[in-house]
Structure 1
Amino acid sequence: MNANSISLHRLKNLIRYEWAMEKRFYLVGTLGIFLITFSVCLTIWFNNISGFVWTSTDYNPIFFGGFVFLSVFGISQGFIDLREKSSTIRYLTLPASILEKYVLQVCLRLVLPILIYLIAFWLGANLSVDIYYFIQNSILEKSALPEIEKAEILYLYWIPNANIDIGYWGLFGLILLLPILMFMGGGIFGKWGFIAMPASIAVFLLLMFGSYFGLSWLVDASAFNAGGSYAIRIDYPAVAMDVPLFVLVCVVLVWTAVFLPFIVTYLKLKEREV
């Protein structure tokens, strides 16, 4: 069997295997997302004073907070069969190519959780609005109620009327990068990926900013004296269309990093197969 061959029949069998072994993970995870979202939103409605207006874009902070939680504790559980010796042997000897196992992991452990989270969050948030108004109107018989708009599923990942400039694409790349890095962490660090990967990201950022301040101090130490300014300049120099060079470089690096973990994860799985 070619390591990079793909057969729909073998993929179907892999899906059956994944469901048989990990269906509790998917079912409990989906139900947990729904219940947590429902509970958090309902708590917010009952703890706000009457008269406030909650728009569809106000869900974004809650949504992205849950997105980070999902990435760290959910998506980091990729390649779970490679964490124990017995399950590793069983998984590696399955009648499927390396590429098929990899594609299935990307689809079921990275893409699917993000889609499930989007739908479960939307359902939980909107149901909480209906339950809140039902309790207030029918049980507590209150009429002066806050105005709460329901969540718009297209607005959860995309902010309407936003200024879609290069900085926005950099932010979108960072949001997309988090679950991809956590997926890679699950393949590299195993069961400790949810700790080791965030720690690796923190160390990388520390080294990056530490080197910046260290080199800045060597060039001009006066900026670090009392009254000095060592803020990072991102508005100069500028390149085409008044885009700061610092921002452009960051966007290029971020989107390069978005695709690089897929290659690293595939090569790590290929190494395990050998």
Structure 2
Amino acid sequence: MSINNTFSWNRFLLLCRQYQIHNGKFLMYAIVGYCGVVFIILSLGQLGNDAEAFGINVFLQLLLTFGAIFGVLYTGYSFSPFRAKESTISYLTMPASALEKFLFELVSRIGLALFLLPFFYWLTFNLQGLFFELVSEADFDPIWFSTFAEMDISPIDESFWLPVVIIFSSLLVFVLPFTGAAIFSKQPLIKTLFSVAIIMTSFGSVIYVVMEPLGLSNYTPNDSLFLLPNKEEAAVRFAALTLILINVVMLFTAYLKIKEKEV
């Protein structure tokens, strides 16, 4: 069986080891820089907030903000060997299958963005809050898992599909630049963002042009139609299924681009 159609844990772990050797210091500096930026912005924000400590609401808002910005920047430069012809050839001729290379990029980019960025943000948020408490009169309550348990999440508990929408819409923020990095060799993040903007604008324009003249906005579909949104729950379900499909298609496209480059 061809190596391009197989998966070996040994080869996969060798890819991880090689990445750690070549990029370990860069990752360490990037994490320190990320924590430094978060620490500084939190400090400036508290100084502009009458020196009051931030709570869980600000924590969640900034978590989404920092996670989206730094996550997109990090995943947007996945498949870094594809940026130059020489490194592309070296990468494609490595003794590893396309599936192993794809899964490694998926784990080392999207996986790290989903888990390490929130972790180091949480760590920096608490350390900065404790430091700010020492140098000011503000009272800071550290954010723990018990803090989230005390929040009112009844709207999410009442719906199966709403958490699915939240999870896969968050995942799509990272999957889009990840796939764009596999498609575009030069300036992948900029080209991906531009392409997404063009597609969304075109799609919105088509929907508007089609729905308004035909009066489709006044059409009420049958309740038995599973995929067509009729009520709020159906609309959330439709959005969830659409997001799942988009994520799967985008990831499969990235995998096919690796296979295509190997050919």
Q: Displacement of 1:84 after TM fit?
A: 0.6
What percent of counterpart residues are identical? Answer: 20
1:54-65 equivalence runs, <5 A: 54-65=54-65
One-letter identity of the residue aligned with 1:5: T
The answer to whether the aligner puts 1:252 opposite 2:241 as a matched pair is: yes
The answer to whether the aligner puts 1:113 opposite 2:102 as a matched pair is: no
Unmatched segments (≥5 aa) in structure 1? 137-141, 221-231
Task: Provide the rounded CA distance (Å) in 1 between the counterparts of 2:57 and 2:101.
Answer: 38
CA deviation vs aligned residue, 1:64-104 (integer Å, no higher than 9, x gap): 11112123211111100122111111111111111111111
Task: Provide the rounded CA distance (Å) in 1 between the counterparts of 2:55 and 2:75.
Answer: 29
SS in 2 for 1:253: helix
Q: Displacement of 1:169 after TM fit?
A: 3.1
SS in 1 for 2:184: helix
When normalised by structure 2's length, the TM-score is: 0.84
Stretch deviating more after TM superposition (88-97 or 3-12): 3-12
Match in the other structure for 1:16: 17
Match in the other structure for 1:150: 142
The answer to whether the aligner puts 1:161 opposite 2:152 as a matched pair is: yes
SS in 2 for 1:190: coil
Q: Displacement of 1:242 after TM fit?
A: 5.1
Task: Provide the rounded CA distance (Å) in 2 between the counterparts of 1:3 and 1:23.
Answer: 27
Among 180, 191, 194, the alignment partner of 1:196 is 191
When normalised by structure 1's length, the TM-score is: 0.81
Task: Provide the rounded CA distance (Å) in 1 between the counterparts of 2:222 and 2:65.
Answer: 34
One-letter identity of the residue aligned with 1:63: L
Q: Displacement of 1:234 after TM fit?
A: 11
Retained in 1: the 8 A contact 2:176–2:192?
A: yes
CA spacing shift, 1:56–1:175, aligned 2, 3 Å: same
Retained in 1: the 8 A contact 2:53–2:129?
A: no
The answer to whether the aligner puts 1:269 opposite 2:261 as a matched pair is: no
CA spacing shift, 1:190–1:67, aligned 2, 3 Å: farther
Match in the other structure for 1:226: none
Retained in 2: the 8 A contact 1:234–1:247?
A: no
Retained in 1: the 8 A contact 2:78–2:181?
A: yes
Task: Provide the rounded CA distance (Å) in 2 between the counterparts of 1:153 and 1:255.
Answer: 28
SS in 2 for 1:3: helix
The answer to whether the aligner puts 1:78 opposite 2:85 as a matched pair is: no
CA spacing shift, 1:233–1:268, aligned 2, 3 Å: farther
Q: Displacement of 1:62 after TM fit?
A: 0.8
CA spacing shift, 1:256–1:104, aligned 2, 3 Å: same
1:223-234 equivalence runs, <5 A: none
Unmatched segments (≥5 aa) in structure 2? none
Count of residues paired in the alignment:
254
Give the CA RMSD over aligned residues: 2.9
Retained in 2: the 8 A contact 1:34–1:120?
A: yes
One-letter identity of the residue aligned with 1:150: P
Task: Provide the rounded CA distance (Å) in 1 between the counterparts of 2:75 and 2:205.
Answer: 30
One-letter identity of the residue aligned with 2:23: E
CA deviation vs aligned residue, 1:123-169 (integer Å, no higher than 9, x gap): 11111111101112xxxxx4xx3x4332336878x994321133453
Task: Provide the rounded CA distance (Å) in 1 between the counterparts of 2:218 and 2:45.
Answer: 38
CA spacing shift, 1:46–1:245, aligned 2, 3 Å: same
Q: Displacement of 1:33 after TM fit?
A: 1.5
Task: Provide the rounded CA distance (Å) in 2 between the counterparts of 1:233 and 1:111.
Answer: 43
CA spacing shift, 1:64–1:195, aligned 2, 3 Å: same
CA spacing shift, 1:91–1:174, aligned 2, 3 Å: same
Task: Provide the rounded CA distance (Å) in 2 between the counterparts of 1:128 and 1:30.
Answer: 16
Retained in 2: the 8 A contact 1:56–1:152?
A: no
Task: Provide the rounded CA distance (Å) in 1 between the counterparts of 2:122 and 2:219.
Answer: 36
One-letter identity of the residue aligned with 1:252: L
Match in the other structure for 1:179: 174
SS in 1 for 2:5: coil
Task: Provide the rounded CA distance (Å) in 2 between the counterparts of 1:2 and 1:192.
Answer: 30
Q: Displacement of 1:175 after TM fit?
A: 1.4
Higher radius of gyration, 1 or 2:
1
Match in the other structure for 2:132: 132
One-letter identity of the residue aligned with 1:219: L
